[in-house]
Amino acid sequence: MTDIHPTAVVEDGARLADGVTVGPFTVIGPDVELAEAVSVQSHVVINGHTRIGARTQIFPFAAIGGPPQDTSYTDEPTKIVIGSDCVIREQATVNRGTARGKGVTTIGDRCMLMIGAHVAHDCVVSDDVLLVNNATLGGHSEIGEHAILGGLSAVQQNCRVGAHAFIGGVTGVTADVIPFVSALGHRAEIAGLNIVGLKRRGFDRPTIHALRAAYKAVFDGTGSRGERLDRVAEEYADIPAAMTIVAFIRAGGDRRLALPRD
């Protein structure tokens, strides 16, 4: 059964599954759906067409489902979908999508948004992503699984951050960051592979060696970008992680990439 504090406002039409708890002075809008065992603490606002997955925890003063900060938005019924087992800490914000974008802002399973993190309209945040305090995603950003964005970092609208990448604190991402690397600096520059993260997530030594070689071949090899990618794809066809880099770059076409430091 649900546990709703008497000072909370749960509007007619909201759908709350078994085990949901809603704390004092929280407001749940009429188009919100909370799955099993979602915990919403005090002074939270959740509105819009928002669906939140099972066991997700939402801390005080978070604001989820607000309209996008986009001048093209005219109150279309766009959405937010947040996965299961997420943690959304104090003052974090998530805005719904736009009609001219994807129409939905998506956050995967087991993500953590620390204090003051912001996910803008039409973003796609994959599973197991960590946004450290005050990390900010501009509209239409795409963040790959297991990526970590450091405190006060900012991803410019429409940029992509690949799986298992690490973005340093106070770093501005203005170009796509390929998977498996660390990017640091005032404007993100690649500082090498995210070795610490790869080891923590169980990548074995041969895979890490292959990733290092593929990374160098992508950025230091001869020929055009397409030619370098073709060579990497041929040489490392049996290394799924290396092929993840190839697929990420190819999916972006001619999009600008964050480059290695000099």
The predicted structure's pLDDT at residue 262: 79
The reply to whether 182 falls in a domain is no
Helix axes 225-235, 205-220, angle to 10 degrees: 160
Residue type, position 207, single letter: T
State the Cα–Cα distance between residues 201 and 196, nearest whole angstrom: 9
In-domain check, residue 164:
no
Residues assigned a catalytic role: 121-122, 139
Phi, psi of 235 (to 5 degrees): -75, -30
In this structure, are 211 and 132 located in the same domain? no
Question: In terms of domains, do 92 and 218 share one?
Answer: no
| Same-domain pairing of 134 and 9 | yes
Task: Indicate if 136 and 203 belong to the same structural domain.
Answer: no
Same-domain status, 10 and 115: yes
User: Do residue 29 and residue 131 come from a single domain?
Assistant: yes
User: Is 148 part of any domain?
Assistant: no
Question: Which residue in 60, 63, 79 sits closest to 22, CA to CA?
Answer: 60
Q: Which two tokens stand for residue 198?
A: 């790869």
Q: What are phi and psi of 33, to 5 degrees?
A: -125, 120
d(CA 163, CA 194): 11
**Tokens 């690949």 belong to residue:** 162
User: For the chain, how many structural domains are there in total?
Assistant: 2
Can you tell me the distance from the alpha carbon of 144 to that of 162, in angstroms, rounded to the nearest whole number?
5
Residue 57 has φ and ψ, to the nearest 5°, of -110, 130
Q: Last residue of a domain, which of 103, 123, 140?
A: 140
Choose among 32, 24, 34: nearest CA to 55. 34
Residue 125: inside a domain: yes
Pair 25, 122 in one domain: yes
The answer to whether residue 162 sits within a structural domain is no
Which tens digits make up the pLDDT trace of 141-186? 999 999 999 999 999 999 999 999 999 999 999 999 999 999 999 9
Among 183, 116, 170, 115, smallest CA distance to 143 is for: 183
> Is 227 inside any structural domain?
yes
Q: What is the CATH classification number for the domain harbouring 27?
A: 2.160.10.10
- CB count in 10 Å sphere of residue 85: 17
Provide the residue range defining the domain that includes 120: 3-140
Final residue in a domain of this structure, among 140, 163, 189: 140
Residue 14 and residue 96 share a domain: yes
State the pTM of this model: 0.97
Q: What residues of the chain score a pLDDT lower than 70?
A: none
- The answer to whether residue 93 sits within a structural domain is yes
In sequence order, the β-bridge partners of residue 189 are 184
